[in-house]
Amino acid sequence: MKLVLPKLPYDLDALEPTLSKHQVELHYKGHLKGYIDKLNQMPFVANASRMKLEEIILKGKHEHVDNRLGVLPPGEHPSTLYNISAQVYNYTFYFNSLTPKGGGNPEGDIGEIIDAQFGDWESFRKKLIAKGKNLFGSGWVWVVIDDEGEISIIKGLNAEVPFVYRLIPILCIDVWEHAYYVDYENRRGEYLRAVADNLLNWDFANKNLSHAG
């Protein structure tokens, strides 16, 4: 198996002025590509010709890979496999969660669910921003749906992925510092507000909702 850098669904400068071309390019070609390169160098991944990325993530999270078989280099823990593969998934999901001229009041099924469960967009927006601002350290803010159809806004510390906990991801915002520091320095709240108001991809959210049904 050899992972390749996925094509962005928009040009590098398409998210300006909310996110600059330099910020997006560094994030995409630096961080995402870096994790893909690291993952491709792992013997387990190189030998997993028919496994999907999601299966590799679950393997790293829940199973102990037998080092005696040479699956992982000596001294390498299965959590390394999980962290790197999860970050590839998370970054890819994040870039798809953004779109030019997005954000604001959601439309379609996601809008109806947000109104029903949170009251309105503004209430949802405040909770989303607060969740990201209050996340200590690095991680992700996820909008997820459970198997009973309830929408939640959750934190994902470091590389955590919702689906390993049987939660279906709908949208996410990266709150690792490198996601926003070029443009916003230490103003994480300003970054979160800008993304929520201008970039969230409601079409992507509705697509994920339809698959969750």
1-30 pLDDT, tens digit per residue, is 688 999 999 999 999 999 999 999 999 999
pLDDT digits (tens, 9 = 90+) for 106-124: 999 999 999 999 999 999 9
β-bridge mates for residue 173, sequence order? 141
Q: Domain spanning 109-212: which CATH class is it, in words? A: alpha beta
pLDDT at 50: 74
Whole-number Cα distances in Å, 122 to 43, 128, 129, 152, 173: 47, 10, 11, 15, 17
Quote the tokens at residue 44.
Answer: 């387990």
pLDDT at 145: 95
Q: Domain spanning 21-96: which CATH class is it, in words? A: mainly alpha
What share of the chain in percent tops pLDDT 70? 90
pLDDT at 2: 83
pTM for this predicted structure: 0.91
Diameter over CA atoms, the chain:
54
pLDDT at 213: 67
pLDDT digits (tens, 9 = 90+) for 130-140: 999 999 999 99
pLDDT at 67: 43
pLDDT digits (tens, 9 = 90+) for 47-87: 776 788 998 888 887 654 444 334 445 444 557 888 999 99
pLDDT at 78: 56
Average pLDDT, the chain: 90
Judge contact between 14 and 201, C-beta under 8 A.
no
Residue spans per domain, the chain: 21-96, 109-212
Note the Cα 146 to chain centre separation in Å: 17
What share of the chain in percent tops pLDDT 90? 75
